[in-house]
Amino acid sequence: MPPRISRTDRDLLIVVCAVIAGGVVAATFVVPVFLDFDTCSCPGEVPLGTNFAANDARLSLCTPNATYSRNGCFAGDYVYTLSMWVGGGMMFGNLVFDVTNASGTVVSLFSNGGFSIVNWTGVAQASSTPDPRLAMSGPWNIYAPGVSGSSLLSANQEILIDMGVGNPFGAHLNLTAQGIDGYSGTVTIPLR
């Protein structure tokens, strides 16, 4: 026969169970409020690093006949071009960028710059609005015909960063990719 629990012990056990159950319920509703949704791997979201990588930052000059809307850079500006790997059905609308210096501050240029995804022929598929501040405040603003935020990214495309008229070589900058709309977290790539 199992041991008998006194009325006092039973009442104490009921109170302890109620407190634990209340804590679980409260945590379910309160903890998500304190999570940093820009960098965490949140429930229902895919960590960006599992489906995105970029490397091989190459510094060059934008070609003399280029336009921002067609080629993703202004003629004569310094540009970084990066190869990228994407997987898992990642779309244009899942990714935004910024460029920061060694202390983590977003870079501001002397002229307009911006971000683009270009295809293998150098035609911009999506571009941010040109701005001296190298940070996307939201999804892409300019799309090529037939491309939208729900279009899939591919490894046949490259990231192009228009760095403006000043030569950024040796400035120890970083490109930070941030996952949005179903993706979370960041991936940082050095621009050397």
Instruction: Compute the mean pLDDT over every residue in the chain, rounded to the nearest whole number.
Output: 86
pLDDT above 70 for 87: yes
Compute the average pLDDT of residues 144-173.
96
Q: Which pLDDT band, with edges at 50, 70 and 90, does 14 fall under? A: confident
Nearest-angstrom CA–CA distance, 49 and 87: 10
pLDDT reported for residue 4 = 74
For residue 95, give the nearest of 122, 70, 117, 123 by alpha carbon.
Answer: 117
Parse the chain into domains and list their residue ranges.
1-34, 46-191
Cβ proximity of 146 and 119 under 8 Å = no
Per-residue CA distances from 161 to 166, 168, 182 (Å): 13, 11, 24
* CB crowding 67-83: b at 16 or more within 10 Å, else e: ebeebbbbeebbbbbbe
Tell me what the mean pLDDT of segment 58-64 comes to: 97
